Amino acid sequence: MLSLPTDHNWNTLIKLHDKTFKPYLKEEQILAAIDKMAQEIAKDYKDEVPLFVGVLNGAFMFVSDFLKAYQHPCEVSFVRLSSYQGLTSTGIVETLLDVSEELEGKSVIILEDVVDTGRTLKQLVHLFSNTNAKEFKIGALFYKSEIYNGEYAIDYVGLEIPDDFIVGYGLDYNEQGRNLREVYQLNKADMINLVLFGKPGAGKGTQAGFLKEKYDLKHISTGDVFRYNIKNGTDLGKLAKSYIDKGDLVPDEVTIDMLKAEVEKNPDAAGFIFDGFPRTEAQAEALDNFLESKDMKVNATIALEAEDDILVARLLERGKSSGRSDDQDESKIRNRFDEYNEKTAPLKAYYDKQGKFHSVNGIGEIDEITKRLSEVIDSL
């Protein structure tokens, strides 16, 4: 379903498939940026006949308006590449339509609709470096400098924009939205971001699994993220391991950087479940600051509550099959509960002040507990 705005209600949200998008750039802003690019290129190539190569499908509107603004002799061609499915890049760039013109001795200027990570650009550079073109340069209408890898120079830029998913003016979400004359960005106000608390044995992991499926959320477990980064030898994993090997606590900034990476590589999620983080008020503030920088927020913190004696019995039973020594010793289990109470108390106060702390009875059948959690989420 596509709801098109009119000139009289620019502030209207639009819906494409299952996502809503909010207004971002008006047509006149885009055309002004294109005119600026055309003037800059005309100044550099006033004595030549450059070949402009548009990158399909996204750049068809851009190239059309650019050629109207570029009132000098030129040639035009197109290539077609693809790396996006939905809201995310697959990381695999396919060449679907190659350049057919003879390029020998020509100055080629690639016209890209948007430059973000640089994967598509790398493929383009590879295509043109194998030709006998005199030179080739790159022009980007929209440039996401904060995530660009910087491997190749962007010679001409229309508008520098943040790392938000955008549609319109040739850009699509699952092939819809290309015909919009303005640009819209993904509306993150509808996202649901949860912090899930619970003592050992409270069923936090089980419930997180159900909630992520029901609400299309990404479950981020701090323990899993640490293990992944250390096992795969990422820069953050190596840094964390250097502290662990010395017997030191991993600094909060390293942990938050790992969480940032998880959030940023899942832009199509309808929200996130943070599990195991934050553990301190300082970490909660760091999480709030990061989410705010992404135009996001924690919507709710939910604690699965259960009596200690019931949880002890659960864990002792689990310990018979899990093999975990700390699930087989009641004193160790109760020590873990004490540590949880000590750490969670200030966090409860922190989120209570924001009106975001919710307590849910964690005793009962699994589907009953899921229903209680869903009632809290549905009320947000």
Boundaries of every domain in the chain: 14-186, 191-378
DSSP string spanning 299-345?
-EEEEEE--HHHHHHHHHHHHHHH--GGGS-HHHHHHHHHHHHHHHH
Q: Is the peptide bond before 232 cis (omega within 30 degrees of 0)?
A: no
Name the most confidently modeled range: 27-41, 230-244, 345-359: 27-41
At 97 the pLDDT is: 39
Same fold, 14-186 and 191-378: yes
DSSP lists the bridge partners of residue 140 as 112, 157
- Cβ distance 223 to 250 under 8 Å? no
pLDDT above 70 (res 311)? yes
- List residues forming the annotated binding site for AMP: 222, 227, 248-250, 276-279, 283, 324, 336
Question: pTM value?
Answer: 0.58
At 86 the pLDDT is: 43
Question: How many Å apart are CA 251 and CA 286, to the nearest integer?
Answer: 12
- List residues forming the annotated binding site for ATP: 201-206, 318, 364
Among the listed residues 366, 345, 369, the one whose alpha carbon sits nearest the alpha carbon of residue 357: 345
Question: What is the set of active-site residues?
Answer: 204, 279, 318, 324, 336
Name the most confidently modeled range: 5-9, 119-123, 206-210: 206-210
How far, in whole angstroms, is CA 145 from its chain's centroid?
15
CATH architecture of 14-186: 3-Layer(aba) Sandwich (3.40)
81-100 average pLDDT score: 45
Pairing of strands 271-275, 192-198: parallel
Take residue 47 and report the two structure tokens written for it.
């004595």
For the chain, strand residue ranges (E) read: 14-16, 19-25, 51-56, 75-85, 88-97, 107-115, 135-143, 156-160, 166-167, 183-186, 192-198, 218-221, 271-275, 300-305, 357-361
Confidence label for 10 from pLDDT (cuts 50, 70 and 90): low
pLDDT above 50 (res 65)? yes
At 319 the pLDDT is: 82
More confident residue, 50 or 213: 50
pLDDT above 60 (res 263)? yes
Q: What are phi and psi of 22, to 5 degrees?
A: -115, 155
Q: How many Cα atoms are found within 13 Å in the side-chain-facing hemisphere of 97?
A: 10
Model pLDDT for residues 151-171, shown as the tens digit of each residue: 788 999 999 998 888 999 999
At 306 the pLDDT is: 87
More confident residue, 65 or 163: 65
Q: What are phi and psi of 356, to 5 degrees?
A: -115, 5
246 Ramachandran zone, left/alpha/beta (phi>0; psi -120 to 50)? alpha
- List residues forming the annotated binding site: 201-206, 222, 227, 248-250, 276-279, 283, 318, 324, 336, 364
pLDDT above 70 (res 204)? yes
In the CATH scheme, what is the homologous superfamily, with its name and number, of domain 191-378? P-loop containing nucleotide triphosphate hydrolases (3.40.50.300)
| Helix or strand (DSSP H, E) at 209 | helix 204-215
